[in-house]
């Protein structure tokens, strides 16, 4: 049989198959670091909120909040000063350290429990990197790209990046276009709210805490940043591997040479994955089977299988989350 010549479509198929295998490489220590950190975040996030809630309730006792809520029912908006919040300014006076004027140093930082909250303690530094790392699998299961910010970090202003971030944010509930019945961000944020008293933004109501409490809350920010970091390091490594494969693929004249390159890479990594020439020829660039008379029965059977809608997938995911937490 004549050898099949390489072309750009085949290169894309090999690249995509290689990317999938590399992502699922359980021997990759960076991948395992990410998943370990993700599991730890799911355990520790509520614990840090419990500490934050203790600090907030000490400043705003429940009986005070209840009294003000009662006044609101009597007098309306003028007494509307109690609200649910999930971000807080905590502050403590470090009497052991003084400034140039001899005054004790004031330490203050913003701690945001929202899905897209700040990672560095600044109120005005929100981003979605934590959200994409936290819900990476859910985004991937819905054919969305949770790695887009990492893949495009060297090219921050382009339509491709905007298209994918818009789709991610809509799915997660981080944009105005999000559907009310599919809002992972809202469900996430609602777990981490408590009553606060005030009529202005959280910046204007720094809540006092102890030095030890402030130190513990700093660990919360570090934890969130570490999840983002492990996600970035893992995907950056895969990006570099794929770049090497793409460079090699450009030098090959025949399809079997490119497949051999990918398979040798898998073998060197201890993976059992193998790319077959017949599979590359019969699939499109996303890995889906293209038309083949021999596949008619299989394709008809697949079309008649019950398929979950996007809404049903979200509902199933939420149900699984509830079951896993019980």
Q: What local confidence, expressed as pLDDT, does residue 124 receive?
A: 76
Instruction: Show the tokens assigned to 316.
Output: 């199933």
Reported as a pLDDT band with limits 50, 70 and 90, residue 1 is low
Q: What local confidence, expressed as pLDDT, does residue 125 receive?
A: 75
- The full DSSP string for 171-203 is HHT-STT--TT--HHHHHHHTT-EEEE-SS-GG
Express each pLDDT in 190-235 by its tens digit. 999 999 988 665 545 789 999 999 999 999 999 999 999 999 999 9
- Give domain limits for the chain: 28-252
Computed over every residue of the chain, the mean pLDDT equals 87
SS3 267: helix
Averaged pLDDT for residues 85-104: 84
Q: What local confidence, expressed as pLDDT, does residue 121 receive?
A: 86
Please name the residue that has the structure tokens 């910046």.
203
> Does residue 318 surpass a pLDDT of 70?
no
Cα dihedral sign, 81-45-310-176: positive
> Does residue 313 surpass a pLDDT of 80?
no
Alpha helices in 96-210 (DSSP H): 129-134, 136-141, 148-151, 159-172, 184-190
Q: What local confidence, expressed as pLDDT, does residue 102 receive?
A: 74
> Does residue 54 surpass a pLDDT of 90?
yes
Strand 194-197 with 207-208, pairing: unpaired
Instruction: Show the tokens assigned to 94.
Output: 């470090």
Express each pLDDT in 265-284 by its tens digit. 999 999 999 999 999 998 75
Q: List all residues 6 or more positions away from 35 whose beta carbon is below 8 Å from its beta carbon.
A: none
Instruction: Show the tokens assigned to 223.
Output: 């934890």
Q: What local confidence, expressed as pLDDT, does residue 269 receive?
A: 94
Q: List all residues 6 or more positions away from 296 whose beta carbon is below 8 Å from its beta carbon.
A: none
Reported as a pLDDT band with limits 50, 70 and 90, residue 175 is confident
> Does residue 100 surpass a pLDDT of 90?
no
**Contact criterion met (CB below 8 Å) for 6 and 253:** yes
DSSP state of 103: P
Averaged pLDDT for residues 300-326: 61
Output the 3-class SS for 55-78.
HHHHHCCHHHHHHHHHHHHHHCHH
Distances in Å between the alpha carbon of 57 and those of 195, 209, 289? 8, 11, 58
């Amino acid at each position: 049989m004549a050898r099949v010549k390489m072309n750009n479509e085949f290169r894309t198929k090999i690249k995509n198959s290689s990317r999938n295998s590399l992502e699922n490489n359980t021997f990759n220590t960076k991948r395992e670091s990410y998943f370990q950190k993700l599991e730890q975040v799911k355990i520790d996030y509520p614990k840090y909120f419990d500490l934050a809630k203790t600090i907030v309730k000490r400043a705003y006792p429940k009986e005070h909040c209840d009294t003000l809520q009662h006044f609101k029912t009597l007098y309306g908006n003028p007494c509307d000063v109690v609200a649910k919040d999930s971000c807080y300014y905590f502050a403590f006076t470090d009497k052991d350290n003084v400034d140039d004027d001899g005054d004790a140093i004031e330490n203050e930082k913003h701690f945001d429990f929202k899905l897209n909250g700040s990672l560095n303690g600044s109120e005005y530094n929100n981003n979605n990197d934590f959200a994409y790392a936290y819900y990476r699998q859910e985004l991937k299961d819905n054919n969305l790209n949770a790695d887009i910010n990492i893949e495009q970090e060297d090219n921050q202003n382009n339509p491709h990046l905007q298209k994918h971030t818009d789709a991610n944010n809509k799915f997660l509930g981080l944009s105005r276009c999000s559907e009310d019945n599919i809002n992972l961000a809202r469900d996430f944020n609602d777990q981490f709210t408590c009553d606060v008293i005030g009529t202005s933004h959280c910046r204007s109501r720094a809540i006092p805490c102890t030095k030890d409490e402030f130190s513990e809350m700093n660990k919360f920010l570090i934890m969130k940043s570490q999840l983002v970091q492990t996600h970035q390091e893992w995907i950056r490594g895969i990006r570099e591997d794929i770049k090497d494969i793409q460079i090699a693929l450009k030098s090959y004249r025949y399809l079997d040479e490119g497949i051999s390159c990918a398979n040798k890479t898998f073998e060197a990594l201890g993976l059992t994955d193998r790319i077959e020439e017949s599979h590359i020829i019969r699939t499109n660039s996303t890995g889906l089977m293209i038309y083949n008379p021999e596949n008619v029965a299989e394709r008809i059977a697949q079309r008649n299988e019950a398929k979950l809608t996007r809404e049903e997938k979200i509902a199933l995911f939420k149900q699984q989350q509830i079951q896993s937490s019980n």
